[in-house]
Amino acid sequence: MSVLGLLWIVIIGFVAGFIARWVMPGEHKPSGFILTCLLGIAGAFVSTQIGQTLGWYRLDQGAGFIGATVGAIIVLAIWGYIANRLNRTPPEQGEPRRWL
């Protein structure tokens, strides 16, 4: 992979991650340039794997910009779900426990 190819992946990943952060509601979002890029790159990877499994892409093809953005939204939804589960506070004495 060339340096320009790697730079292109980072740029597409950043833009896809930024759009996913803008579209998805919630308070537990990754912030910063590096986490936004990683979110977009992970989204591109997820959408490429799903697309290849379903036969939308050949094995030598990757997801495009729209696929990376949709994948980043999926990754951000999973991130938010895990962050919400980890940041729960235990119920106070006498308060009923909430499971959802």
The pLDDT tens digits for 15-48 are: 888 888 888 776 666 677 777 778 888 888 888 8
- Residue 98 placed within a domain: no
> Residues 33, 4: contact at Cβ < 8 Å?
no
- Residue 75 placed within a domain: yes
- Residue 62 placed within a domain: yes
- Which residues are CB-contacts of 44 (< 8 A; sequence separation ≥ 6)? 9, 12, 13, 16, 62, 63, 67, 68, 71, 72
pTM of the model: 0.69
The number of distinct structural domains making up the chain is 1
Q: Residue 27's closest CA among 91, 92, 94, 87?
A: 87
Domain hosting 45: range is: 30-83
Question: Any idea what DSSP says for residue 60?
Answer: T
Q: Is the pLDDT of residue 81 over 70?
A: yes
- End-to-end Cα spacing for the chain: 44
- Residue 61 placed within a domain: yes
- Residue 4 placed within a domain: no
- Residue 18 placed within a domain: no
- Residue 17 placed within a domain: no
- Residue 94 placed within a domain: no
Residues in the chain: 100
Task: Summarize the confidence of residues 65-90 as an average pLDDT.
Answer: 79
